[in-house]
Amino acid sequence: MTRTAGNLVDLTRKLVSFDTINPPGQETDCMEFAAARLEEAGFCCTRHRHSDTRFSIVATRGTGDGLPLCFSGHLDTVPLGNAPWRHDPFAGDIEGDHLFGRGSSDMKGGVAAFILACQAVPRVRGGVAVVLSVGEETGCDGARWLVEAGALPPAGAMIVAESTDNRPLLGHKGVCWLRFRVQGRTAHGATPELGENAILKALPLMTRLATFDPEASHPIMGRATANLGTIHGGINTNSVPDRCEMTLDLRSVAGITHDELRAGLERLAGPEVRIETLLDLPAVWSEPDDPWCARASAVVAEITGVTATPEVANYFTDAAVLKPAMGNIPVLILGPGSMDQPHSTDEFVLISRLIEAQSIYEALLADWTGAAD
């Protein structure tokens, strides 16, 4: 193993060794460790506290002569799941090319690769910015808090180091979860005529939601979809239910806003139905012929030997929150994790992909310097 590969493996294993399972999201120690490594690489780190126990980091280096290139990553992970793990999820076990651990793919490996790339390329014209967030897995909470605090750095383009097998992806669908509440009036189950049965009232809406078609599509993202995910009504068999609730999972595409979708569903549901938004993350899309996206994709292809075809991720990322708040800059989702590994039992990242990712990030930093000339 070369010295660089050794550093990268060590750093990934170190980040994996912190238990940052979210919830509850105890990212502080891991964040402090990452901040120290960024400071060693010449970054000025600002910790933005969201609560007594949680903070995200915005780090910048060498800004002043143009806009920086920004790297984005999150340090929380999903829970381990119910299935037993063969490997200790926090040990960073290595078997051949595999490095195991919760968060190895999603996305501590990516974070390690860009920290070391920034260290290896100390001078970047235009500068470099890093946004390290907490609470991504529960709906981009940390990124949202950073936006609310006005803490985001200026940047000219952004790389989100999520799991893509080192393929540059142009975005992902949006997600909007809505809860519909139909109200009735309760009564004893033996005298249903005295009540107003909320389940019965909700039936027509249930059918309409189950067959709802957002009628939007995108040449690369495909069709927007809707899924009626849950129905809850009534408390016990011998009462007339006074409430029936349904939740709908909308996956949107670029070109249609969640406000438009919600307005259509409000008309469909009628004025009596209360609609509540549970999650609202817009679609992310960067044009493949955006000058930076095109150039960066060519840089990646030169290293991986794989020519990029326009494609998108099937998960959401912090870019849903960061991209619109940072002036809709071009974004590539590009990281060493395997596309099928996030949230899996015995999650792993391939060491060869980690090393390749660091080379890619270094090349993109060098390209950024060239672009600023």
Chain positions contacting Zn ion, by CB under 5 A: 106-107, 162
Q: Which is nearer to Zn ion, 41 or 333 (CB)?
A: 333
Nearer to Zn ion, 105 or 358 (CB): 105
Q: What CA–CA distance (Å, rounded) separates 145 from 174? A: 19
Contact between 35 and 115 under an 8 Å Cβ cutoff? The reply is no
The minimum distance between CB 134 and Zn ion, in angstroms, equals 12
Structure tokens at 205: 């809406």
Q: Shortest CA distance to 69 belongs to which of 335, 307, 288, 363?
A: 363
- Specify whether the CB–CB gap between 368 and 69 falls below 8 A: yes
Residue 163 beta carbon to Zn ion: minimum distance, rounded to whole angstroms: 7
The minimum distance between CB 199 and Zn ion, in angstroms, equals 38
Helix, strand or coil for residue 104? helix
Min separation Cβ 143 and Zn ion, Å: 11
Contact 109, 349 (CB under 8 A): yes
> Where in the chain does DSSP place strands (E)?
44-49, 55-61, 69-74, 94-95, 98-100, 128-133, 157-160, 171-172, 174-183, 217-218, 222-223, 225-233, 243-252, 274-281, 284-285, 331-333, 348-350
User: Which residue's Cβ has the minimum distance to Zn ion?
Assistant: 106
Region of 25 on the Ramachandran plot (φ > 0 left; ψ -120 to 50 alpha; else beta): left
What letter represents residue 295's amino acid?
A: R
Looking at beta carbons only, is 28 or 163 nearer to Zn ion?
163
Contact 241/187 with Cβ under 8 angstroms? no
**Least distance in angstroms from the C-beta of 108 to Zn ion:** 10
Q: 57 or 205: whose CB is closer to Zn ion?
A: 57
C-beta of 344: minimal distance to Zn ion in Å? Answer: 13
Angle (CA) 31-34-37 rounded to 5° is 150
* CB contact at 8 A, 201 and 184: yes
Q: Which is nearer to Zn ion, 135 or 156 (CB)?
A: 135
The amino acid occupying position 19 is D
- Least distance from Zn ion to the Cβ atom of residue 109, Å: 11
* CB of 171 or CB of 233, closer to Zn ion: 171
User: CB-wise, 92 or 103, nearer to Zn ion?
Assistant: 103
Q: Minimum distance from CB of 106 to Zn ion (Å)?
A: 4
Residue 107 or 117 having the CB closest to Zn ion: 107
Q: Which helix (H) or strand (E) is 74 found in, with range?
A: strand 69-74
